[in-house]
Each structure stands twice: as C-alpha cells, then as structure tokens.
Amino acid sequence: MTEFDGKTLTVSELLRCFADILDELKKRKIVRTRNNPVADYAEWLVTQQLGISLERSSKRGYDATDTSGKRYQIKSRRLDSTNESKQLSVIRNLDTNEFDYLVGVLFNRDFTVREAYKIPHSVIREHAHFSEHQNGYILHLQGEVLTARGVENITEVLGKHISTTDDIG
C-alpha cells in the first residue's frame, strides 16, 4: 500500500475517500454504523455557511449562536442505500427551551447536502415525540414539520459548501 497524502486533496475529495473507507469498514464489520463524524462536519458546515459561531466548549442544549444571541441546536444524519431513515438523534430537555432553532441536515452518502432546514423551537415542540426508551424527543426530518410556519429550507445555502470550501483545509 502506498502512503496516503491528504494534503493534496480538496475537502470534498477527502470526504469522498472517507465515505469509501466507512463502507469498507462496515463490510468488514469493524464499525457498526456509517454516521461518524457526521455531527462534527454538520456543525462546521452550518456555522460556516450561516455565519454563526460554534460554541467552543460543550454547551447544554445548543451548539452555536448568532450575533443576536439566538441559540442553534445542530442535528444531522448521513443517508445511504441501506438506511434512508430521516430520524435525527435524540433531542434532550426540549421543555427547557435551551435552543431557539434546530438546524437539521441530511447528507447523501458522499457528504453532499441532500436537505437542510432551520426549524423554530416551537415547531420542534409540536412535531417531535417523546421516547421513554431514549429519554428524549425524536424528530423525523420529513412530512408536515418541513412545511410548518417559520421553517426555512436552507438546502441551497448549505449545498454551496463544495464550491466554497474545497480549498479550505
């Protein structure tokens, strides 16, 4: 095997390589899912493209803030042919209003943005359902929640990341 030199690759090329590596590791039963590091990438992408600030330290209930102090919880999921579920990870403490907006991002297998939405807290409260098993709220990024009042489709804004961030590293 030759040595891998990631320094010569663009961000999108690196992510495509990562997708291929995850697929092979899954086939070999080394990993059980193909979802990591989806959350970290989503947080980076959302903050870069929306011009909001990622919290440096772990903040309970939100990941980023904008210049007016609005708090954003960022959730994501990477879809592939073996799992098309649009269920986001569990939302904890929904009743304590720890975020103002949830940004939900669905990635294709190769980490391109399939869908992305900015959803007000009140809409999440209406459409998420509580799971005793997971001790939190579950939201599927599909159906009526996407057309509710105040929801913004930000797919195009986030989808521009390939052309605007390929040379960032």
pLDDT tens, residue by residue, 138-152: 999 999 999 999 999
Q: Which range is least confidently modeled, 23-27, 43-47, 119-123?
A: 23-27
Question: Who wins on pLDDT, 39 or 74?
Answer: 74
Q: What is the mean pLDDT of the chain?
A: 89
List C-alpha distances in Å: 107 to 19, 30, 59, 166: 11, 22, 24, 17
What type of residue is 151?
A: V
In this prediction, residues 26-45 reach a mean pLDDT of 81
Asked if residue 145 belongs to a domain, the reply is yes
Q: How confident is the model at residue 3 (pLDDT cuts 50, 70, 90)?
A: confident
Q: How confident is the model at residue 5 (pLDDT cuts 50, 70, 90)?
A: confident
pLDDT tens, residue by residue, 75-114: 999 998 998 999 999 999 899 999 999 999 999 988 899 9
Q: Containing domain of residue 65, as a range?
A: 6-165
pLDDT of the residue at 59: 79
Taking the C-alpha atoms of residue 135 and residue 140, their distance in angstroms, rounded to an integer, is 16
Sequence-ordered alpha helix ranges (H) in 28-97: 38-50
Taking the C-alpha atoms of residue 58 and residue 51, their distance in angstroms, rounded to an integer, is 19
pLDDT of the residue at 35: 66
pLDDT of the residue at 161: 59
Give me the DSSP letters along 111-130.
S-EEEEEEEEHHHHHHH-EE
Q: In what order do the strands lie in the sheet with 152-153?
A: 53-54, 64-65, 71-78, 101-107, 113-120, 152-153
In this prediction, residues 122-133 reach a mean pLDDT of 96
pLDDT of the residue at 138: 97
In this prediction, residues 7-17 reach a mean pLDDT of 91
Asked if residue 1 belongs to a domain, the reply is no
Question: Who wins on pLDDT, 165 or 130?
Answer: 130
Give CA 140 to chain center in angstroms.
13
pTM of the model: 0.83
CATH code for the domain of 55: 3.40.210
Quote the number of domains for the chain: 1
Q: How confident is the model at residue 30 (pLDDT cuts 50, 70, 90)?
A: confident
